[in-house]
Every structure is written in C-alpha cells, then in structure tokens.
Amino acid sequence: MTQETGGFAAFNLNPNILAAVAATGYEEPSAIQQQSIPIIMAGKDMIGQAQTGTGKTAAFALPILHCIDPAKREPQALILAPTRELALQVATAFETYAKQMPGVTVVAVYGGAPMGPQLKAIRNGAQIVVATPGRLCDHLRRDEKVLSTVNHLVLDEADEMLKLGFMDDLEVIFKALPATRQTVLFSATLPQSIRAIAERHLRDPEHVKIQTKTQTVTAIEQAHLLVHADQKTSAVLSLLEVEDFDALIMFVRTKQATLDLASALEAKGYKAAALNGDIAQNQRERVIDSLKDGRLDIVVATDVAARGLDVPRITHVFNVDMPYDPESYVHRIGRTGRAGREGRALLLVTPRERRMLQVIERVTGQKVAEVRLPDAQAVLDARIKKLTNSLSPLVADAESTHGDLLDRLTADIGCTPRALAAALLRKATNGQALTLAAIEKERPLVPNNAPRGDRPERTGDRPDRGDRERRAPVPLAEGRARCRTALGARDGIAAKNLLGAILNEGGLAREAIGRIQVRDSFSLVELPEDGLEKLLAKLKDTRVAGKQLKLRRYRED
C-alpha cells in the first residue's frame, strides 16, 4: 500500500489509473468498489446492488479503464444510463480516472444534442461510450454496426431505466453488441423485471451486495437536511449559527474536501482544522489534542483519518458527504454522545442520495427526521442569544469595575449611556449583522426551500379514466406550462414513456418535468415555461411507442 493510493494499490490496476485516483483524493475503496473491482477486472459478468452515493461509478469505471486497449481506436466499453444528467456525470468520472491514460477518449451520447458530432466522436475512435438508451437506438438506426466492437457493457441504474420505459430500447442495444461481451448491471433494487434481464443477457453473473446488518444506534438525536451538492458549504455555515455545539466533527469524502471546508470555516472565524490521510501522524495527534482541550472546535475529516478518534467534548457530528454504507454512518455518528453526553448528528443529503438515506433508516431502524435550513429570524435569535450569554455574566459586577469609566466617557464624548452602550455593542460584535434585514442580505446563497429532489412527480402513471377524465385541472405551479399530446393510454402510452422521451430528447433535468397525466386519448405534461418554445422545437421529431409525440402548449380556457 502506498501513501498516495491507499487500499486501491492492492487491486493491481494500471498505474496510470492509480495515479489519477490518487489525484482525486480518495483515501480508500468503498465497500462496493472493494468487491466489484476484482470481479470486473477478471472479465466476469456481475450484478451489483448499490445506489448512488456508494461509489458505484468508480466501481465499474476503474476496472473497465484497466481492461480497455488505448491503442485501439474503436468503441470498447458502453455504459448505459437512464438520464442525460447521469450519462454526463458518468462520462466526467471516466474522464477524471483516464486523465493519465493518453489516447483514451470518452463520448457522452444523449438526446437534445445534435447527433452528428456524437456519431463522429464514436467513429473517430472513442473507446468509452456513455449513452442514454433512446438516443443510442437512434444512432443504431443510422448505423447498426456502430457498437460491433464493444466488449464491455455496463447498465447503470438499471431499475431507473426500466421505470423510464427503456425496456424495448435495451433489447435493441443488446442485439447490436457482440454476444461474447462482458455485461455488468448495477441497480439499487432488483425487481423481477431486472432479474429477467440478467437471466437473459448475463452469463453466470457474480452477485455483489453491500451487506447491511442491523445496527444499533445509541441515544443520538439524528436529522437530515436536503441540499444541492454545490450549496453544502453555505448550508454548513448556516447550521453552525443555530446549533449549540461544544466540539464538532464533520465528515467528507476526500482529502481536498477536508482542506476546502476547514478553510471556509476558518475564514468565518471558527477554530477549525482538516484531518486527512496525507497529514503526518504526529500532526494528526496534535489536531486531536487541540480538539480535546478546546484550542480547536471543529475538525473536518475523512473516515480514514478519523479512525480511533475519541474526544468526549464532541457534541455534534455533521455528515457533510454521505457515508458509503450504513455501518460507516453508525460508526461516524458514534463519535458523539460519548461518556453519557447528549449527541446530535446531522446528515446532508443531495437529491440523488435519498435512497441511501432510506437504507440508513432501514438498517438502523430509526427515522432520521428532516430539518430545514434556519431562516433569518432563527439566525438572528441565535446570534442575540450568544451575545446575551456572553454579556450576562458580566452585568453583575461590571458597574463596580467600569461604572466610573462609563460616567467619564459619556461626559467626555457628550453622549447618553445608551449611545455609548450601543457603540460598545457594535465593537463587541465586530460589525456582525444583528437585524433581520441585514441577515437576509448577508445570506442570499442558500434558499430556504430545500430541493425537493430531482425526480419528477409521476402521479399519472396509470391511465386516467372515467371520473378522473372529468376532474378539474390541477392548478399549475409557477413557472410551469401545461402541454398536450394526442398520444394516450389507447396508444399504449404510460407516463414513464413520456418521461423518458422528454428527458432524453429534451435534454432536461428530472426536476424540470412536473405532473404527467395520461388520459385515454391524450396526455398532459407540465414543462418549464422558460424556454418552452425551444424545447417544443427540439421535441418536434420525437417518437414515443413508434408514434410522433407532437407536443403542443395546452390552454385550458
């Protein structure tokens, strides 16, 4: 094991891949990586049961990069992802891990972007193709041989692909690939439909599942907050304003994140330090000692660096990045509530990680309540409380020690004691905002309405009939427009088919699509008002279930 690559070195991956992994700052493989990488490297078929947040992308990307031949300029690996959003994410991950592999190129193939450049990139010899099924089928219609050299196939989030109605497209793609290829399937759940695919298209697959033993959690108050990944730092800063903590440990995934977050906290005046595997052992011990005796209040750590850390002063654990598995969550939050003290654990959850939250709740048998970011009023109250707490012990005898000085200053300056006290407060608070308006101005970064997720509402999964046909239209959310297609249940359409087609051909994020209502002879879809005309133009030639979608703005009046 080397310092740079930690547990990854044991995999015997191509050194250029290891170097790229080291550059990302990962300290050691996650559980799913530990199990999957050797299987995929050995060329075997595999079913991996894992959700977003477990490190599943690297679990297949690293061994696949290891297996491809950079000298061959032809598609060798195909990764299928349910949405454009995920396809781009996976393609970026491949690019990161292949940074030190000259000659390796990655192409992302998804709807809503012109087909020509995508096909050109494939023909120019991109070895890795990351695609959504719908768009890939369009390419296959133009050139059925385009995938004939692919010998590794990964289905990422297979259950999501089926939910979005891509079953038929998958079958077309399976047929276009060599029968001798390796196939790896990742899915958060394994319903019968997924098992059936595995049975038909995988050869003697190995099963990988993260074992989730039931865990007991001691009396620690737990909560979670939904937040977008790029808002984590501001969310942490807001939470710190209102949490009444003594010492606090924050967990992140990478070394770089420990450094970034610790310096953001220091910049706000917190006594904070980073703790990661790159920091020499004696320096680490110094950090822990400082946390013990109060020279530090916050430590931002990776799991590896926090091993064995036992500081009774810790009242709070912030899981700023999601742990890889429930065991590690339980382990992390066990850092607080030591020595019979009360502990509080907060978990930041990005929309895509909500399934992981459910797994944690199931395994621990406890509900992790949702909290919202404190609003300006709560921040104001907390700041005033802190000030009150710091001043009230002084009031009893300050008059006897500083009363005469007060008289003299008011006389010299020629002001009232109230004016002087106000001036002293301004100094004592270092100009910190202590009015609602000022706090609102200071903190526009994180809106208080936490993201509700990146999944569209899909209340209309079943064809609506009878009295539901006659029901009054549901009021539209602000910024949304209702659109209509003449395709409905009688055309064999379900909401998931519409969703899949619009997501991929329209190039939208999932949360951009609102309610989808499928009626017998037509369907209604809620889309963003902003850019609607362009979107409809993009969807002009989109077909669903073999028929033209022809989506138009729908006016109720």
Q: Among 14, 39, 49, 55, which residue interacts with ligand AMP (rule: CB under 6 A)?
A: 55
If we measure between CA atoms, which residue out of 503, 498, 506 comes closest to residue 545? 498
Asked if 128 and 104 touch (Cβ cutoff 8 Å), the reply is yes
Rg for the chain, CA atoms, rounded: 28
Tally of CB atoms within 10 A around 153: 23
Residue with the two structure tokens 């297609």: 485
Q: How far is the CA of 516 from the CAs of 92, 454, 460, 509, in angstroms?
A: 31, 15, 5, 15
Asked if 535 and 501 touch (Cβ cutoff 8 Å), the reply is no
CB 286, min distance to ligand AMP, A: 25
CB 359, min distance to ligand AMP, A: 13
CB 401, min distance to ligand AMP, A: 54
Structure tokens at 479: 């910024």
Contacts (CB under 6 A) with ligand AMP, residues 220-259 = 253-254
Q: What is the dihedral of CA 11, 17, 20, 26, to 10 degrees?
A: -20
Residue 58 interacts with ligand AMP (CB under 6 A): yes or no: yes
CB 252, min distance to ligand AMP, A: 9
Structure tokens at 72: 């061959």
CB 325, min distance to ligand AMP, A: 11
Can you tell me the distance from the alpha carbon of 48 to that of 60, in angstroms, rounded to the nearest whole number?
10
CB 86, min distance to ligand AMP, A: 9
CB 60, min distance to ligand AMP, A: 9
Q: What is the DSSP annotation of 36-102?
A: HHHHHHTT--EEEE--TTSSHHHHHHHHHHHHS-TTS-S--EEEE-SSHHHHHHHHHHHHHHTTTST
If we measure between CA atoms, which residue out of 161, 93, 190 comes closest to residue 503? 161
Contacts (CB under 6 A) with ligand AMP, residues 12-51 = 26, 29-30, 33
CB 162, min distance to ligand AMP, A: 19
CB 377, min distance to ligand AMP, A: 34
Asked if 515 and 502 touch (Cβ cutoff 8 Å), the reply is no
Return the number of the residue (28 or 381) whose C-beta is nearest ligand AMP.
28
Q: Residues binding ligand AMP: what is the number (CB under 6 A)?
A: 13
Return the number of the residue (57 or 238) whose C-beta is nearest ligand AMP.
57
Return the number of the residue (52 or 319) whose C-beta is nearest ligand AMP.
52
Return the number of the residue (31 or 549) whose C-beta is nearest ligand AMP.
31
Close Cβ partners of 447 (under 8 Å, ≥ 6 residues apart): none
> Does residue 219 sit in helix, strand or coil?
coil
Burial of residue 444 (number of CB atoms within 10 Å: 0-12, 13-18, 19+): exposed
Q: Among 54, 132, 183, 523, which residue interacts with ligand AMP (rule: CB under 6 A)?
A: 54
The DSSP call for residue 474 is P
Which residues on adjacent β-strands are paired with residue 78?
A: 129, 153
- What is the helix (H) or strand (E) element at residue 50, kind and residue range? none
Return the number of the residue (22 or 551) whose C-beta is nearest ligand AMP.
22
Where does this chain bind ligand AMP (CB under 6 A)? 26, 29-30, 33, 52-58, 253-254
